[in-house]
A and B are shown apart, each in its own frame.
Chain A
Amino acid sequence: MRRFSLATLLREALRGHTGWAPQWRDATPKPAYDAIIVGAGGHGLATAYYLAAECGVRNVAVVEKGWLGGGNTARNTTIIRSNYLWEESEAIYEHSLKLWEDLSHALNYNTMYSPRGVMMLAHTVHDEQVLKRHIHANRLAGIDNEWLSPREAQEFCPILNTDPALRYPVLGAALQRRGGVARHDAVAWGYARAASALGVDIIQNCAVTGIRRGADGAVQGVETERGFIAAPQVGVVAAGHTSVLMAMAGVRMPLESFPLQALVSEPVKPVMPCVVMSNTIHAYISQSDKGELVIGAGTDVYTSYSQRGGLHIASDTLEAICELFPTVRRLRMLRSWGGIVDVTPDRSPIIGTTPVPGLFVNCGWGTGGFKATPGSGHVFAHTIAKGTPHPIAAPFALDRFRTGRLIDEAAAAAVAH
């Protein structure tokens, strides 16, 4: 892999930018691999990268129905934070946040990780109790999260309306300064490039049509549009379509898939310095480096695999945004879109082994998987390589829905991820 740097950029500039090589190989499938990852989103590519970079498993294929990084990786609002409530969640999201902090250098790709602070607003006494409980839990875990008064919140985000007469006034906020955003596409591309350089085959436009199991029940490989590809270990990382893929191996997943929408405004000069989230009135907002206000809306009420949702969902979110930030009311929605999120009963992910030997699954990230991309890929790679769950992944086993050891972040706090 040719290193990216100012020097290479200079050199190529002199050659009119004609000398750049492909950032990853557009591979054609080999007959067999040591491991196959189904799904070339951020989590799948990260898994392949860490398999090759840290676990010594380089004969890996990532098989993708469409184009790499084209699902929720390319559609989310890129919020990164680790101030979760339960210790299991704190562990994986903090593990991820630590990887984010060095990711650009590790991949030699600027993922534009921007720790500009994530501020979660409290509008009711109950909100305040919930956020303070998070702060207490996070302090014990050694994770930064602090309480801001309404005035401090307004200083941190000057266009925030903290008028006490608001329908839902800002009573305070929990701020994680290390939280922030990153450039979603760059994460997928950076992992793809680094994984490809380590020998991973990224096979795009190659839908998996079946998962082949032997007489002993163990996985033998995947059937694809481009033929059978053998591998003793298969990891399914397919977000909203995981349940469909797992059904091919006879595994019924506790997942529901919903369309989740997001939208951006036309670009304007910097006006929103941080990420602001309000769960009570459902508004998530930051400003991209390009200048667009990036706004997360909600999920439709009904399950669907169609990557679009109803207009009212975007309207509802903009109602809340315009109340919290009244100066943006004249800005205009430039684009809106939907992605399919896979939601588990306890709103926490499923990472680990399955009842099928050799078949692993990483899914159920719901509305908040982007922030976990590096950590999720990292622990999943170790899980696949060793055949047993990484300690951080262990609590997120599929089995927990049988044992009852749920990790319910959403119910605990009514907090979306």
Chain B
Amino acid sequence: MIGASRQEGMMQRLLVGRMFQGRLVPDSMRTEAGGRIDRARDLRFRFDGVDYLGCEGDTLASALLANGIHLVGRSFKYHRPRGILSAGAEEPNALVTLRRDGGRTTPNLRATQIELYEGLEATSQNRWPSLSTDFGALASLAAPLLPAGFFYKTMLGPRGWKLWHRLFEPLLRRGAGLGHAPTQPDPDRYARYHDHCDVLIVGAGPAGLAAALAAGREGQRVILCDEQAEPGGTLLTEIRALVDGIPAREFLARSLAELSAMPNVRVMPRTTAFGLYPHNHAGLAERVTDHLAAPGQDLPRERLWQIRAARVVLATGAIERPLLFPNNDRPGVMLAGAARDYLLRYGVKVGNHVVIATACDSAYLTALDLAAAGVEVKVVLDLRSSAEGPLPEAVRKAGIPILTGGRVLGTHLRRLRLDSVLLGRADGRTRWFDCDALLVSNGHTPTAHLAAHARAPMHWNDTWGAFLPGSIEGVASIGACAGATTLAEALAQGAALFAAVPPPVEAELPIAPAPGTLQGAETGCVFVDLQNDVTAQDIRMAVGEGFRSVEHVKRYTAGGLGTDQGKTGNMALFALTAAASGLAPAQVGTTTFRPPYTPVTFGTLAGPARGDLFDPVRTTPLHDKAVAEAAVFEDVGPWKRARYFPRKGETMHEAVAREVAATRATAGMFDASTLGKIEVMGPDAAEFLNRLYVNALTGLKPGSCRYAVMLSEAGFVMDDGIVARLAENHFHVTTTTGGAARVLHHMEDYRQTEWPDLRVWLTSTTEHWAVIALQGPKAREILIPLCEADISALPHMAVRDLTIAGAPARLMRVSFTGELGFEVNVPARHAPPLWDALRARLAAIGGTLYGTEAMHVMRAEKGYIIIGQETDGTVTPGDLGLPEGRAKPDFVGKRSLTRPDMLLPDRRQLVGLLTENPAVMLEEGAQLVTEASPPPGTPALGHVTSAYHSPALGRSIALALLAGGRTRLGQRLFVAGPRGGIAVTVAPPVFLDPEGARLHG
């Protein structure tokens, strides 16, 4: 026979040779006919720089196999050459990087799940310089020194040398990892959908289809999803059985046609249900364009579906397990079921001369079908002591020898491809068989991942040698994942869920489940987790070292922690752990099944929330006005706020100084629309607010406003604002910009849970009202001509409803600058024209627009606090010199204010600071100390909360929280800095107009 690897090498040369003539030879391992590919449509693709041909309908794996290529990857730790093990989502080995144009590079994709398209370009990973010559494989030589967890025991170096961090970790990190992350931003887009249904069925194999047909015919709203491009599951390879009197594959086509004709049913191929979350909330990832050669710009790459289902039906099938034997990881070793899939679905022979080794009847089907396709099946080795029943009989009849009770003792590699296997017979004799593929089966593991996410109990089943999911409310498992062993049983379970009659099945060759075996794992290099290079010896060693819980073994060995999450290897890991601990597998249990079932693209989960759609900006109704005035904006919570309005060539400092000066001299106008606003109504509204705020509010007269402070339960200042009483039962309450949502939640929390007896209703009106603040000695002058009522006598802290410039307005005389001032609330749509009207009057009078920075400066000159700047969740109203509500019997936080620590004289209190050098600006957050150069570890006396240049004072000012601050007025302290201390004098926090003459003017 010709060695497969030589054949492969010859072919590669042939291909390269033909390339110069611009043509490729067709795939040599393709059968003459059969499979579900479109042979008329050749697709050219490239793997590791070599061009090949495949067919429409191929996966990358089937196309490579059609070209005789098994070697596709290198293992994580030892860089051992690895081939394609499976034909599906469970693949541990065949990981590649796909490249498209631009930033469309995706590492770690399973070749078994990549649909082939024209021009596909894939490269192998974790090897240097090439897949066939990988220096990383030198790690194999050191393998005895690199057992599970070796790095916990060494790589420290002498104490104090930090060799782990400096030397060993960088080395290890470079060696680890699989593919390379992309280096360009991803240009693709992703969509996010929410949906609900009566029945979500996961898996469109026979059980899922039967359930979908039954539920759909009942009129239920059904979503049927399947991770594969073509729904059907095992029906796709069922070539013998008749269902409902017709061949199974015709039944499949007929069923899909019927389902697609039902308006109440949606079939979603290429859609992986990756997680089942609380209350039947399922996460589905739909691949929309990855299989297209030229994806349209109008399509997202993937869609995330979040589906809430009244009932979830899991029909997720079962995954074949590989056998354990020395060097069981060679390219050319493949699951028997996968080899059959490649033959029947893709028309690909995975070898010309194969050996089959099995502990399960299913591999006999592979033997029969491969032999029928002209593959030489040299021998079927059954590890069990006997091989009886219709399947072995059929195999014998086909002239294929069967060896029972034997073992696989080893494999031989030639040019990185399996070329022979050593089989041991029950009588002890051994023999090498030349072959180009070894097809193995060790039974099947029901795919219980989603059931486990939903916290279904897992029950050990001796017949399957695996755990089967129990049922929980709203979640049913059917078909192979629930232990169904035949097609008839799977169909029956699906139909039974909806009390339907299943279609009859004839001529099925039934396969009994098999418990699998650990025989062969005793000695040698036996891989349990192929991706992470975890061997049976590693597991025994871990158990020997006291790692008894499977979770410990998983973590110590990294078994099951690969990108396949141990889909093929975990049962062996559990069983070996049990065996090494002297326990039954049922006692050992499983590790936690963690979502997602297969990896989900970050972009899919992040969805459309990128760029402008990531936490979309909130803008006020006057935003465009500010833009037109060349404002510089800042982010405040979710809002964009105008920070200052620079004139040409002005710095921020200059602009702010001008805005402050003009406002104090004439008038300034400011967009305060971002303030939170809550309408509080009801007979108990006053009582409600009185309980929530420190300040007395029951006595507030209609038409009046009051500044009010809200505390947390712990007695600390949480928010502040204006409470305006419009009528006996009607209040307009403002909050800070950032606190709007928090305060409403806080209010609702108390209203609903603590005081449900109070008759009060809350409505957020933040978006309803735009707010224009007019501040300055000429504010009234500007406003009066526009008001359709006399406001000349409106006192400070009064509120009136009236019409201003034709707009229904709520006018408050309030000030956050220390100047005579108004805040005009108008419905959002009226704001722009009112702004224009006021803007014109402002300009005529020599006033200015000002932004948040000038607002900050002016309020600091007056010693007004800003929540989040002068407060930090540890500050009481007393600390700020604000009323503490002593006269009020109760309010939220009052009791906390009486705790001993709240009454200490050395609490940090709000003060002003004046630097000795008036030109020196302090830095906000800097710490206050008594010495100019305090030694490390010196406790701070407080910190600078705000620091500005004050145009009014013509010098720097600062506010600070200082221990016992009010007793330290006049003291000289230092603000610690990286270049020594800055001398300051403690002053009262009000720098300007402490009597409030300007305010009441």
Q: Footprint of B on A, CB under 8 Å? A: 4-6, 8-10, 13-14, 16-18, 20-26, 66-68, 70, 74, 87, 102, 104-105, 109-110, 112-116, 123-126, 129-130, 132-137, 139-142, 159, 167-168, 180, 183, 185-186, 189-190, 204, 265-271, 281, 287, 289-291, 306, 308, 310-312, 314-315, 318-323, 326-337, 345-346, 400, 402-406, 408, 410-413
**Total count of chain B residues near the partner, CB < 8 A:** 114
A124–B868 Cα gap in the complex (Å)? 13
Chain A CB within 8 A of B602 CB: yes
Task: Identify A327's interface contact among B186, B612, B940, CB under 8 A.
Answer: B186
A332–B599 Cα gap in the complex (Å)? 5
Interface centre among B104, B635, B900, B934 (most CB of A within 10 A): B635
Task: Identify A403's interface contact among B164, B176, B541, B900, CB under 8 A.
Answer: B900
Which residues of the other chain, A, contact B145 by a CB distance below 8 angstroms? Answer: 9-10, 13
CB within 8 Å for A141 and B183 given contacts A67-B551, A411-B716: no
Is B154 in contact with A4, judged by CB distance below 8 angstroms? yes
CB within 8 Å for A105 and B159 given contacts A17-B541, A266-B599, A269-B179: yes
A120–B103 Cα gap in the complex (Å)? 28
Is B602 in contact with A322, judged by CB distance below 8 angstroms? yes
Which residues of the other chain, B, contact A406 by a CB distance below 8 angstroms? Answer: 714, 874
The B791-815 residues at the A interface (CB cut-off 8 A) are: none
Is A319 in contact with B614, judged by CB distance below 8 angstroms? yes
Flag the segment in B197-205, B233-241, B465-473, B542-550 that touches A.
Answer: B542-550
Chain A CB within 8 A of B462 CB: no
A204–B581 Cα gap in the complex (Å)? 15
A323–B185 Cα gap in the complex (Å)? 10
Sample (20) of A-B pairs whose CB atoms are under 8 Å apart: A66-B549, A110-B151, A110-B156, A114-B169, A132-B924, A137-B943, A141-B936, A167-B614, A268-B177, A268-B178, A289-B173, A291-B178, A308-B453, A326-B185, A329-B606, A331-B182, A331-B601, A332-B601, A332-B602, A403-B899
Is B874 in contact with A140, judged by CB distance below 8 angstroms? no
Is A404 in contact with B900, judged by CB distance below 8 angstroms? yes
A168–B634 Cα gap in the complex (Å)? 10
Task: Identify B164's interface contact among A87, A110, A125, CB under 8 A.
Answer: A110
CB within 8 Å for A267 and B563 given contacts A9-B150, A140-B929, A291-B177: yes
Is A289 in contact with B172, judged by CB distance below 8 angstroms? yes
A14–B147 Cα gap in the complex (Å)? 12
Which residues of the other chain, B, contact A167 by a CB distance below 8 angstroms? Answer: 611-612, 614-615, 617
A132–B977 Cα gap in the complex (Å)? 11
A13–B713 Cα gap in the complex (Å)? 62
Interface centre among B104, B592, B606, B716 (most CB of A within 10 A): B606
Is A402 in contact with B899, judged by CB distance below 8 angstroms? yes
Is B277 in contact with A308, judged by CB distance below 8 angstroms? yes
Chain A CB within 8 A of B827 CB: no
Which residues of the other chain, B, contact A67 by a CB distance below 8 angstroms? Answer: 548-549, 551-552
Is A271 in contact with B169, judged by CB distance below 8 angstroms? no
A406–B179 Cα gap in the complex (Å)? 48
Interface centre among B104, B165, B183, B306 (most CB of A within 10 A): B165
Is B155 in contact with A110, judged by CB distance below 8 angstroms? yes
Flag the segment in B105-113, B387-395, B439-447, B484-492 that touches A.
Answer: B105-113
CB within 8 Å for A185 and B164 given contacts A319-B606, A323-B610: no
The B167-209 residues at the A interface (CB cut-off 8 A) are: 169, 172-174, 176-186, 188
Chain A CB within 8 A of B969 CB: no
Is A74 in contact with B551, judged by CB distance below 8 angstroms? yes
A204–B548 Cα gap in the complex (Å)? 10
A67–B179 Cα gap in the complex (Å)? 34
Is A124 in contact with B636, judged by CB distance below 8 angstroms? yes
Task: Identify B283's interface contact among A6, A20, A311, A412, CB under 8 A.
Answer: A311
Task: Identify B603's interface contact among A320, A329, A404, CB under 8 A.
Answer: A329
Interface string of B122-155 (1 = CB under 8 A from A): 0000000000000000000000110100111111
Is B537 in contact with A16, judged by CB distance below 8 angstroms? yes
By beta carbon, the residue of chain B nearest A321 is: B602
Chain A CB within 8 A of B607 CB: yes
Is B978 in contact with A5, judged by CB distance below 8 angstroms? no
By beta carbon, the residue of chain A nearest B903 is: A404
By beta carbon, the residue of chain A nearest B634 is: A125
A321–B603 Cα gap in the complex (Å)? 10
Interface centre among B563, B595, B602, B902 (most CB of A within 10 A): B602
By beta carbon, the residue of chain A nearest B186 is: A329
Which residues of the other chain, B, contact A159 by a CB distance below 8 angstroms? Answer: 181
CB within 8 Å for A404 and B902 given contacts A306-B278, A329-B606, A413-B872: yes
Is A267 in contact with B902, judged by CB distance below 8 angstroms? no
CB within 8 Å for A110 and B165 given contacts A10-B145, A318-B606: no
The 3 closest A-B pairs by CB, nearest first: A411-B873, A133-B925, A142-B936
Which residues of the other chain, A, contact B612 by a CB distance below 8 angstroms? Answer: 167
Is B615 in contact with A204, judged by CB distance below 8 angstroms? no
Interface centre among A14, A109, A136, A183 (most CB of B within 10 A): A136
Which residues of the other chain, B, contact A402 by a CB distance below 8 angstroms? Answer: 899
Which residues of the other chain, B, contact A281 by a CB distance below 8 angstroms? Answer: 615
Is A411 in contact with B872, judged by CB distance below 8 angstroms? yes
Interface string of B929-949 (1 = CB under 8 A from A): 100001011111001000000
CB within 8 Å for A266 and B563 given contacts A329-B186, A413-B872: yes
CB within 8 Å for A133 and B943 given contacts A10-B145, A406-B874: yes
A404–B903 Cα gap in the complex (Å)? 9
Chain A CB within 8 A of B586 CB: no
Chain A CB within 8 A of B869 CB: yes
Is A408 in contact with B874, judged by CB distance below 8 angstroms? yes
Least CB distance from B74 to A in Å reads: 13
Task: Identify B108's interface contact among A24, A268, A412, CB under 8 A.
Answer: A268
Is A8 in contact with B153, judged by CB distance below 8 angstroms? yes
The B905-945 residues at the A interface (CB cut-off 8 A) are: 923-927, 929, 934, 936-940, 943
Is B594 in contact with A124, judged by CB distance below 8 angstroms? no
Least CB distance from B524 to A in Å reads: 11
Is B869 in contact with A129, judged by CB distance below 8 angstroms? yes
Is B179 in contact with A268, judged by CB distance below 8 angstroms? yes
Task: Identify A129's interface contact among B104, B551, B925, CB under 8 A.
Answer: B925
Least CB distance from B504 to A in Å reads: 41
Chain A CB within 8 A of B609 CB: yes
A337–B277 Cα gap in the complex (Å)? 11
A65–B937 Cα gap in the complex (Å)? 41
The B872-891 residues at the A interface (CB cut-off 8 A) are: 872-874
A327–B185 Cα gap in the complex (Å)? 4
Which residues of the other chain, A, contact B104 by a CB distance below 8 angstroms? Answer: 330
A135–B976 Cα gap in the complex (Å)? 11
Extra 5 A-B pairs, beta carbons < 8 Å, given A311-B306, A330-B602: A23-B547, A140-B937, A287-B173, A345-B713, A404-B901
Is A185 in contact with B278, judged by CB distance below 8 angstroms? no
Chain A CB within 8 A of B698 CB: no
A126–B609 Cα gap in the complex (Å)? 24
CB within 8 Å for A130 and B925 given contacts A322-B603, A327-B182, A412-B872: yes
A54–B79 Cα gap in the complex (Å)? 45
Least CB distance from A195 to B in Å reads: 13
Which residues of the other chain, A, contact B601 by a CB distance below 8 angstroms? Answer: 329-333
Which residues of the other chain, B, contact A410 by a CB distance below 8 angstroms? Answer: 873
By beta carbon, the residue of chain A nearest B608 is: A319
By beta carbon, the residue of chain B nearest A345 is: B714
Least CB distance from A143 to B in Å reads: 8
Which residues of the other chain, A, contact B924 by a CB distance below 8 angstroms? Answer: 129, 132-133
Task: Identify A267's interface contact among B144, B178, B868, B869, CB under 8 A.
Answer: B178
The B407-447 residues at the A interface (CB cut-off 8 A) are: none
Interface centre among A26, A130, A315, A323 (most CB of B within 10 A): A315
Is A23 in contact with B545, judged by CB distance below 8 angstroms? yes
By beta carbon, the residue of chain A nearest B978 is: A139
Which residues of the other chain, B, contact A327 by a CB distance below 8 angstroms? Answer: 103, 181-186
Least CB distance from A348 to B in Å reads: 11
Least CB distance from B688 to A in Å reads: 24
Least CB distance from B253 to A in Å reads: 33
